[in-house]
Structure 1
């Protein structure tokens, strides 16, 4: 378990989505490449919400798109219900991918500006030949389920809707094909705070009513903690820590996770109250470039605990307790607070 870096909670349960050694790199000329994701491993269980947390540029969105094969990863394995997506041909991939839908960060730009709401929500049904006399009924039910009045928005185009309404349309569209996995890429980042709460509540209701598994990608610590069952913390494409969301603000031990917690006012006092918290919340430098990530531990250039070992040897995920894994040379189970 520790050596492979694969993290999940219930050993006997078959994951809905399984990712192994995922690598995403983008060439940028002069023989350079952006190291967006480097060796990501995860299992997503049925009915679970896995939050992926990190700063902008840490590889969260690149990982989510790679799960969807948009574009396919540079290397690695993505299994959806046991089917290896990276090896499927185009039409087979499209059919398999219908069970894994994605909600984008900018709801307005993700909707065709020329199409009306009715056609946007019906798009999946039309593509897969499910058109029929029940189509309008299904669309109306989907719009009602996301809190929109069909009579009001039916013939409207995206520019005639608010950002929150557009995001509701995106959710309705994603749910039409009855997916088992929903990947949410910063779904509330562009929305007002009051609208964010409505969309998060909607996702929770949709998860329960449609028996969904969610991958929730965001940089907002509080949002990820509130909606997730587990949290995976990424830094420059590498997993730093994975733990139950209920323990995020009290038992997280990786210096980078503590730095993220310290950036949230209501969590900073808890973060600094631990024995080493005050030493772990002061970043030394700016985020390094993913074109040339640091050797060894990628967080070492900002970490107050860094030593020569951190530059020479890359840490692997080690188990610290039930569902809790960390990749750091300088923390172990003895550093985990008991409360």
Structure 2
């Protein structure tokens, strides 16, 4: 079983938890895309869990399955004390007010025919908190000010009259109007300019602290995930490779795939003591990086073994369990030993 547990530092009851999520998609001729294979996770109250990996690793599918879009083929998702998986449609609709998602493409996420004020009021109207029409304008204006937009300027505009960053702020405001406990951020800055990315990340971090939100932040950019997350969960081909605190990621990451991701960062700093990069000496993949295995037919044993320079026969025969090597640090690799005397 692949398990991601809350660290000792965040040993509060999880705001969101998932166990053994499996998501598969039909691919014709009786084949299946194994998008997510046995992923488990916990997100503590007020914590941000980052999910990191290359395109196709299953990270976005995990995020969508947490909000039941689509529901996982097997496994369970709990939002505080409510089990979302298996809920009747009306019960699930009510529960979703407490867990909202921000999509990757903000312009595509907004109805182009509707004005900003109407887009923001969709959620309260659907979930029954929009009956107070007298206070509607005040709530909309407050939501816009909270995310750094001038209500008088944008409330009557349509999405095509806004920039990409403004559209993403509207998406954030729309989610926050429902006062959720958990926010799923699915690559929320990948389609934005670098300067705008920083603004949106700062906005999300400030909003999280002000409201006590829990967040799942999904991205392929190592630096972005590291900077906004409390913990990072690294995925490869539908599986969890490593889970560790973000503040020690460069120094403490030990899984060959995580180290490969860290080695992709420009100009890695070198340690004056060891001469190694922050994550240890980068490991080159055993074969061409472009020769990636397919989720239609994932490798046996460790799914990273076809690219791993440490791969042995054991990696082909046995799937490595996700195990603690020190408190709060989990790794799925046969060649990593627990650090029993780690401070």
Normalising by the smaller structure, the TM-score range is: over 0.9
C-alpha separation between the residues in 2 aligned to 1:272 and 1:58? 31
CA distance in 2: counterparts of 1:192 and 1:272, whole angstroms = 34
Aligned to 1:175: 176
Distance of 1:128 and 1:322 partners within structure 2: 41
Could you say if the C-alpha distance between residues 275 and 66 of structure 1 is closer, same or farther in structure 2, counting changes exceeding 3 Å?
closer
Mapped contact 1:262–1:268 kept (Cα < 8 A)? no
Q: Distance in 2 between matches of 1:6 and 1:236?
A: 17
- Tell me which residue corresponds to 1:320: 325
Match of 1:273 in 2: 276
**Structure 1 unmatched runs, 5+:** none
| Residue number in structure 1 paired with 2:25 | 26
Counterpart of 1:209 in structure 2 is 210
Indicate whether 1:131 and 2:134 are aligned.
Answer: no
Q: Partners in 2 of 1:86 and 1:275 — Cα distance?
A: 40
**Contact 2:268–2:277 at 8 Å: present in 1 too?**
no
Greater mean deviation of Cα atoms: 166-175 or 126-135: 126-135
Structure 2 CA distance for partners of 1:312 and 1:163, relative to 1, 3 Å = same
CA distance in 1, matches of 2:176, 2:279: 45
Which residue matches 2:4? 6
1:60 matched to which residue of 2?
59
Residue 41 of structure 2 aligns to a residue whose secondary structure is strand
Of 326-335 and 217-226, deviating more is 326-335
Matched, 1:306 2:311: yes
Contact kept? 2:3, 2:19, Cα under 8 Å: no
Q: Which runs of 5+ in 2 are unaligned?
A: none
Show the counterpart of 2:244. Answer: 243
Once the two structures are TM-superposed, the CA of residue 7 in structure 1 deviates from its matched residue by 1.7
1:284 and 2:284 are equivalent in the alignment: no
CA drift of 1:131 comes to: 2.7
Instruction: Give TM-score, length-normalised by structure 2.
Output: 0.94
Deviation at 1:267, TM superposition (A): 3.2
- The answer on 1:187 being equivalent to 2:188 is yes
- Cα–Cα, structure 1 residues 200 and 97, in superposed 2: closer, same or farther, change >3 Å? same
Given that 2:232 and 2:243 are in contact with CA atoms closer than 8 Å, whether structure 1 keeps it comes out as yes
**Which SS does the other structure have where 2:78 is aligned?**
strand
CA offset digits 1:56-79 (Å, max 9, x no partner): 000010100000101111110000
Shift of 1:331: 1.0
Moved more, 278-287 or 78-87: 278-287
The structural deviation recorded for 1:274 is 6.2
Q: Deviations over 1:196-241 (max 9, x none)?
A: 0000000011101111000000000000000000000000010000
Please state whether the residue corresponding to 1:265 is helix, strand or coil: coil
In structure 2, how many angstroms separate the alpha carbons of the residues matched to 1:116 and 1:7?
Answer: 42
User: In 2, are the aligned partners of 1:262 and 1:269 still within 8 Å (CA)?
Assistant: no
Q: CA RMSD in A?
A: 2.0
Alpha-carbon distance in 2 for matches of 1:279, 1:44? 30
CA deviations over 1:32-81 (Å, ceiling 9, x no partner): 00000000011100000000000000001010000010111111000001
Which stretch shows the higher mean deviation, 274-283 or 132-141?
274-283
* 1:63-82 correspondence runs (5 A): 63-82=62-81
Alpha-carbon separation, structure 1, partners of 2:198 and 2:4: 32
Contact 1:33-1:291 at 8 Å conserved across structures: yes
CA drift of 1:172 comes to: 0.2
C-alpha change, 1:81 and 1:335, in structure 2 (3 Å) is closer
What displacement does 1:107 show? Answer: 0.3
| Partner in structure 1 of residue 143 of structure 2 | 142
Mapped to 2, the partners of 1:258 and 1:125 lie a distance apart of 44
Rounded Cα–Cα distance in structure 1 between residues aligned with 2:282 and 2:143: 50
1:234-266 deviations in whole A, cap 9, x for unaligned? Answer: 000100000000011111000000000000014
Please name the residue that 1:262 is paired with.
Answer: 263
Contact kept? 2:325, 2:340, Cα under 8 Å: no
